[in-house]
Amino acid sequence: MLARTRRECAALLADELAPLRKIAMFIMGDPALALRVLQRANAVPHRHFSAEVALLEDAGHMLGTQTLMRLEAEANVADAVLTDERLASYQRSAGRAVLAALLAQDWAEVDHDRFPAEVSLAALLNHLGELFLLAHGDPRINRYLDLVEISHLLPHEAEYLSLGESLEELGYVLAQQWKLPEMVREAMRARNAQYPRALCVMLATQIARHAFSSWQRPTLMNDLRLTADLLALELQPLIRRINGLLIGFNRNVGDYGVKPLKLLPMDGITNISTPWSVGFCLAPRADEVAQCRAVFTAEVPPDRDDVLIQLVRTLHRGVGLNRVVFARYHPRLQMLSAEFLAGTDFEPLFNRFRLTIDDDSVIQELLAVSAALWINDNNAAELLPRIPPAVLELIGVKHFFMASLWVKTQVIGVVYADRRSESCQLDARSFNTFKQLVNEAGACLARRD
């Protein structure tokens, strides 16, 4: 819990006339306290209903001021238990979470969402994995934050270099274990970018990260345009709304140990983003590939979802492919939609990977027979025109792998992978391992059936 919370909480809760909305907004200003309140409210046995408590206002009403005061009094204060370095990083991360929550609430109201506070809470806890590692003193997390916020490395590269695990996966596992509300959990899953409420959370998290990085991250324009599309706003009105929230947030920004954040310029916005830069190319890890193969050949095959998660994770972390997608095939709709993704948690636009299959497309051929393709300089002139233009615009690269995933005689989807940047080239060894792992995943699923 933040020191500011301890200073102000007792006075607020002692005011019998303080409305629940004001109390909920105060709690939302401290992600750790919000988490405690939410957990405690959902731990209370409900005699008359079984629905989870998904709003801080409802949680406050259920628990009452005395319980809220006790929860606040029992919590550790970050200033007392964290070292100066850890405290600075924790405060900054908490502030970024609060800004994301404010953005999400505003945008949900613009979009006429029935429960904006539910969307806001999901944004507040969207980078739960990061806050957890900071609170528990994991020494790797400061290195990760330096790489992302100072060196402007892409998050998946920073995770690969400094953490060895996905913060998105960690946050989702924690949300499941702690039985957090469905909206909180599902907004952490990349594939849910196709749903407006989850996309609102993801974009608020992204824009808050952009703001804390002084608008220097390379995905800024993509995220702003996607937000504008989501809210049916022009870019300039959206920027005015963001700046209005930043002005209000900056009044209390000192609570999070940071200086007032820069506003977005109203003019020349397209010129402020830095271009894509690659810090390094992901290296293959033979141990990860070997572990995956051991899972696929185990006497008792894993569940279907576990097989697919293992596949995309290994193609990303073991083979060293930056972005990996398993897209489910829907025969009746003649459509593919992203179901499991790796290396894309900071790209809400890419996470909406979905396409309708044309009769003459390369993808139609992949779905007709078990095969894998490597689009490269030798075949690009022939094959790229047969890839739907919307897909090429979405992925932004001209070199990539694709393979159909078959279970016995039935195709269930397509696996896509790339290195995101042409400066990190695909190679024959990676393609062969890619093909083999897709086939082995299909064989494992066939044994499961």
Q: Which pair of tokens denotes residue 339?
A: 């179901």
Residue 27 has, within 13 A of its CA and on its CB side, a CA count of 29
Distance between CA atoms of residues 314 and 240, nearest Å: 42
Which helix (DSSP H) or strand (DSSP E) does residue 158 occupy? helix 155-158
Tokens of 199: 């996309």
Contact 273, 214 (CB under 8 A): no
Apex CA 331: angle with CA 329 and CA 332, to 5°?
135
pLDDT in tens, the chain (449 residues): 788 888 888 777 777 666 778 888 888 999 998 999 888 888 777 645 556 887 888 888 788 878 888 888 888 888 888 888 888 899 999 999 999 999 999 999 999 988 999 999 999 999 999 999 998 878 888 888 888 877 777 787 888 888 877 888 899 999 999 889 999 999 999 989 999 999 999 999 999 999 998 998 878 998 999 999 999 999 999 999 999 999 999 999 999 999 999 999 887 666 555 555 666 788 899 999 999 999 999 989 999 999 999 999 999 999 999 999 999 999 999 999 999 999 888 888 889 888 888 777 899 999 999 999 999 999 999 999 998 888 888 888 999 999 999 999 999 999 999 998 888 889 999 999 999 999 999 999 999 76
Cα–Cα distance measured from residue 445 to residue 172, given in angstroms and rounded to the nearest whole number:
24
Within 8 A by CB and 6+ apart from 338, the residues are: 190, 191, 193, 194, 325, 326, 327, 328, 351, 352, 353, 354
- pLDDT, position 49: 53
| Cβ-proximal residues to 237 (8 Å cutoff; 6+ apart), any chain | none
The model's pTM is: 0.89
Helical pair 20-28 and 116-124, crossing angle rounded to 10 deg: 20
